[in-house]
Amino acid sequence: MPFQPETNWRSDASLAYALMRLTFGVNLFMRGIMRIYVGTGGFAQGMLKQFEGTPMPAAIIQPFALTLPWAESAIGLLLILGFQTRIALVAGSLMMTVLTFGTMVRQDFQTAWLQLGYVLIFFVLLALRSWNLISVDRALEASKTRM
């Protein structure tokens, strides 16, 4: 049975989507914000230490580690608001692809399994985006159709 697009913002499907999107957005946003608050330099140093003894050069790891918290925060904030949701979900999925690549280079298979949980949530939110009716995206769309 295929999932049907939702048209009523008061429906259980629309509410469930909004709550999942909000909670997932808070998770990503706070992950990034706390890394920024504590200091991205310390986070980057920790990541460099994790990659010691791997073929990944520090010249790639350092800039990625300094950028990651900002990307997590931005993606999380967009998801919290439900603004540019599709772009945020695609960007987040690609971020997880890069993180999974690095995790596999480190041969940290337990973390790789945890990352697949995030990938699954990104997949579900993207696949069911037609239920994204409680969002800034929907409000902007509705205001365009009223003009």
Q: What is the pLDDT of residue 77?
A: 98
CB 125 within 8 A of CB 89: yes
Work out the average pLDDT over 53-67: 96
Q: What is the pLDDT of residue 25?
A: 98
Q: Tell me the pLDDT band of 1, cut-offs 50, 70 and 90.
A: very low
Q: What is the pLDDT of residue 11?
A: 87
User: Does pLDDT of 49 surpass 90?
Assistant: yes
Work out the average pLDDT over 33-49: 96
Q: Tell me the pLDDT band of 7, cut-offs 50, 70 and 90.
A: confident
Q: Tell me the pLDDT band of 95, cut-offs 50, 70 and 90.
A: very high
**SS3 for 25?**
helix
Q: What is the pLDDT of residue 146?
A: 72
Work out the average pLDDT over 70-78: 98
The residues, ordered by sequence, that sit 6+ positions from 26 with a Cβ below 8 Å of its Cβ are 76, 80
Q: What is the pLDDT of residue 88?
A: 98
Q: What is the pLDDT of residue 51?
A: 96
The DSSP code for 132 is -
Q: If 0-12 CB within 10 Å is exposed, 13-18 middle and 19+ buried, where does residue 40 land? A: middle
Q: What is the pLDDT of residue 142?
A: 85
Rounded distance between C-alpha atoms, residue 141 and residue 129, angstroms? 14
Spell out the long-range contacts of 112-118 with Cβ–Cβ below 8 A and sequence spacing 24 or more.
118/92
How many CB atoms lie under 10 A from the CB of residue 59? 8
Q: Tell me the pLDDT band of 2, cut-offs 50, 70 and 90.
A: low
